[in-house]
Structure 1
Amino acid sequence: MIIKRLILHNFGIYAGTNVFEFTGKRPVVLVGGNNGRGKTTFLEAVLLALYGSNSFLYRESDYSTYQQYLKSFVNTSDSSFRTYIQLDFDLDEEVIVPYSIKRSWRGNSLRPGETLSVMKNGKKENFLENNWLHFIEGILPSGIARFFFFDGEKIAELARNNSNQEVKDSIRTLLGLSVIDQMEKDFGRIMRSSAHSIEMSEQNNEYENIKSTLESARKELEVLENRAQLINEQILSIQTELQDEQNEFVRKGGDISRTKEEKQSIIRALDLQVREKNIELKNLAAGSLPLRILKDDLAEILKEASVETKRVIQAQTISQIKEMADEYKESKRVSKDYINDFLDFIENKYTEDNKEPVYSFSKKTLEELEFLVSTELDSAKGLVEELRHERSKALADIDENNRYLDAEIDEQAIETISESISEKKIKLGEFSGQIAEIDKAIDFKKFELSKAVREYQRASRAVVKTKEWNDKQQRTYKYSLMSLEVLERFKEKLQIRRTRNLGEIITQCYLILSNKKNLISHIEVDPMTLDLTYRNSDGVQIPPESLSAGEQQLMVISLLWALAKASKRKLPVIVDTPLSRLDSSHRKAIVSNYYPAASNQIIILSTDTEITSEYYEILKPYIDEEYSLMYDEILKATTIQSGFFKEENYDRSTDQIID
């Protein structure tokens, strides 16, 4: 994947329309801007364009809903409340295929509805619009996106605090271990449920006493309000889970599976249309249509036959004139020589170019030929073109619908997610009904607050478990435990094999970046804990705390680089705050060795104190495009300018463009 263009319209701190263009001819793109000028917003825009509500930056944000997250990016400087982001990129699918995805929304409504548009090869793709999550997860899964798009400041904090559980979780996802972890949790849940059932059946042999308590109407009202608050919290929780599962349903191709029968019906109807059009075309071919190739010849025949007919009429007319002249000469005393000269003149004028008839068409035949040449053949051609166009459209529609049928989907996973979604919708309906009832009760209690006190009773119920139920739960517990032991052995062997390979890649990356190659010569990844162990050339372990802050950060960058390599995906890398707290020696190592080789495209979002003129000269042979983020203090908005912190048009003391 190569990013070719990013368009930000009224997005975050970016006012108006701002276009970042990238040719992709060289690997490095520099985007310069001091703090608060829109570098992190650039990174958020790319992730939002690709993943929408599945973006890890949204999931890590403080916003409780995706709509609130979208609304936070609306720039209202032009009062249109209209925002969109558009990301254009190329994918190598044996040939280079251009894609464009656009997300747009409005910020002047309580729930800004997002509109998604996808183009492929410059044409609108309804299939991709309906199944974008499923498509992008096949290119760059959201679980490993953080290895390619990351914040250098967070990496520095990660190294300083040695708190890398987030990275460990991502490593497990990359190595395929998170699936096994989930299976272990499922077996554990089954075992706990079985054990609890057995325990309850043993403990509930005695009846509990029932206590009755009287409370004031104010206390009852408080209880109801607490219940309402609890149910509302449950509703919010279920709605969040439901949104995640609906995203997962689409990502795994659920919409495709749901519409397969409909698509098959549409394809059958389209096939019938194609056959009907073919029959109509055959009927045309069996009629006058083949004569269309002889139209010019038929037109020439029509012309000659018309002239020939005209000559015949003229000859007949002259013959009649002669007969009438003979009668006239007999009845009148006129000069016969004068009349004979006139007849000779007429005969010579209109018979001098007479030829023998070739066609001898009748008037009806001539009229039919004229209609054929002037009207019928052109009409038949137009009808053929119309039928062919309709047939081509039907065939194209068949191909479009077949794409739904050909898509590879996990039917079992979709069914599981669909069942879970249905259950959650049922729960939401139940909770909504409960809220409505509680609201009525609250109104009633407020009305009765000064008059009455109600009595609530709580009863304990004895649950008696039968021996058959206990035996069933014990068998479930036993077989779950056996499955868990087998799964644990499999996971251990899988982790050992995959972490060994990952350790070798991390070592290679670290040795490329480090200027102290004698300090650490080999890095190992613990198969169980995923902790890193550093060893020198003698095999002696190097304590992590003995590394300097720069060395620790360098190690984390090496890990991210290695994870990106291990994914075996040719994808762009975006780094925000690239050099963070590194010292000069480590900065030079990163600039010289990591950035030119990290990916086919690496977009660096830097302040003027990170990529300085020294590092700029090192990167210069690899730079594709350069941009600076310009902040207007009056408009409180950022626009972009070509060039990376150009001295002649950029005042670093005020961060303003110089007129």
Structure 2
Amino acid sequence: MFIESIILHNYRAYRGHNKTSFKPDIKNIFLVAGNNGFGKTTFLTSLVWCLYGKLMADVDDKFRRDINDAQGYKNYARQSLHKELANAVNAYEVSLEERKQIVKHGYSSENEYIKEDSQYYVEIGLTDVFIPSIPCRTITIRRTYDYFLDIESVEVLIDGQANELAKEVGYDIFINDFILSKDIAKFFFFDAEKIVNLAEVKSIDEKRRLSIAYSEVLGIKKYEDIKRNLENLRLKFRRNAGSTASKAKLDKLTSSVTDIEVKIKVKEAERENIDSQIQQYRTESIQLQERLIREGNAISVEELKKQKELLVALKDKDTKLKNQLRDMLDIAPFAISGKLFTNLMGQVAAEKDVKTSAASCEAINSALQSTQTQITDAVATLKFSTSQKQAVEHIIAEVFAKNILDISDATIDDVKILVDYTDNEANEFQALFDNIRYSFSAIFKQLVKDIKNNALFLAKTQRKIVEAEYDDGNANVKEIRMRKAEVDELLAQLEIQTRQMSEQIGTLNKDIKVLKKQLSEVAKNVRVDKSDKEKDIIAERLIGELTTFLFELRTKRKLSLEKKIMAGIDVLMHKVDFIHNVRIDLQDDIIEIELLDKTGELISKEKLSKGEQQLYATAILNALVEESGIEFPVFIDSPLQKFDSIHSRNIITKFYPSVSKQVVIFPLLGKELSEDEYNALLPNVNRVYVIENEDGCSSFKKIVPNKLFETLL
């Protein structure tokens, strides 16, 4: 499928008839470049609006927020007419009767001028389209909105003619089913800066929505739908044929399932509404903060409260630090005394040695005397003559006398006892000496530094509080701050509500699974009428085959997708072996993509840089597009955001040339695409358009690809 042309007529900044043409070629890249505010993102949005109209809210959260911010799709659509034309239409004096006639019979030659100014449309011309059972070469889709009549219309022409099949199913359904499903459009129309959302999916609901999109793009959903339809058909057979009791039970369970499905839809709608309010209040909170800054006061009520809490903490810290300083100042005189303190330490150590030696001598002598007494007593019990006993005792006494130590000899160099510390006192003095010698200076300097820094921070915080409280006299600042406090409080409450809503939806999903299981068990025991029995047998067989097929398909897609994502990461990332493997975990309707390092440990996606997250998301996108086999052009806004030069070159030379047969990028030249990067891209560039803007009106100018930067300069 190839987009041959796009026409924007009076759509937003594009006043008048603005056409871009694309020519199929081996060169697959097309550039639509322009300055900020000239209409690059508008161009991308116009394509989504042309294809899906009010259903564009289902394509991406950005479009849903835009519609909610406009207070509904009708207002959103009305805002898309060029402002000058909208003002002109508003100025026309048209009677109520004339308006009724236009609504009833359409525009006449007399009021054709109103139609010319009040209608805008976007038209997409497609070629190389394959639709089963409808042979065609081209398809033209035009969506029009009439600002004057508040009417939207869409037209689909196949080979230039209206088609009955497309009319019968409805143009919006035809586009969704045969051109590109809205559930997977986000993979083909995306803002490269916001593609990191694929890498930041956290909540169960986000994973569930992404899983649905994956199933759609990988071709799994259509088989799941067939299986579901067959299961409903078998259930219908049983409800028609069962006994009164079994039928009543089936009806009750079916009714319960339906009720819960309705509740889930209601809860999801409520959650979407809350999420929309959260987005609106966040925007308002940011705007209020900006107003405070412009007013010269950047502190909100909540921030002022935090500053006061911080001030209390800083004062406590100041007290503790000063107490520590006082403790250190108590021992500072020892440090100041220097050599005297060292000499004193020497005296204490010497006295301790003397005391230790004397104590040792006393202990040894006491032990020797005790031993001598024991030996002498033992000799007395022996059967020796008196002379023999006396001789032995004399020898023993003589030997022991020679080994008795003289305590006076233990005095080392006649040390004079001056301090006379006990062992505990000497040990404490030694600890004090070691502290002053090895760590006192460093700790003291760091403590003084901490006190100074804390004092500066404390003074700065006090100044902020004083300025903020002084500005309370400014009624405008006070009003803004109070409103911001209200908005932030509402935000906190809404975030709690949306979490609770998600929990309730999760509970309902569990309940519905239990009921469906019960429904299946009851249905098994109900006999089918003879007229439906053969159909039921065929349906049962097909369901079994589909179950096996879906399991094998999911496994096959899972393994293939893992390999393709890993291959994409290897090609795009310059960190070798940073991500060693990719694992996809499929659990019911939840999909989890996990990154693994060399050791098999999970890599937290939150710890990836924004550039790495974008590369990872790009690898997912590339793998999905390749695996799906869907040939549809890829449109990329804000390319190469947050990439370094190596990653940018990888994207330019390896991603853009291969992701699709037609890639249209919308760069901000110089910032999002430098001249060197463009030169690397040039061999694959087919055609280049530059968006020009004059007097608030944007238009396209075709540029020779190799003259782009020369033309702009």
**TM-score in terms of structure 1 length:** 0.50
**TM-score in terms of structure 2 length:** 0.46
Decide which structure has greater helix share: 2
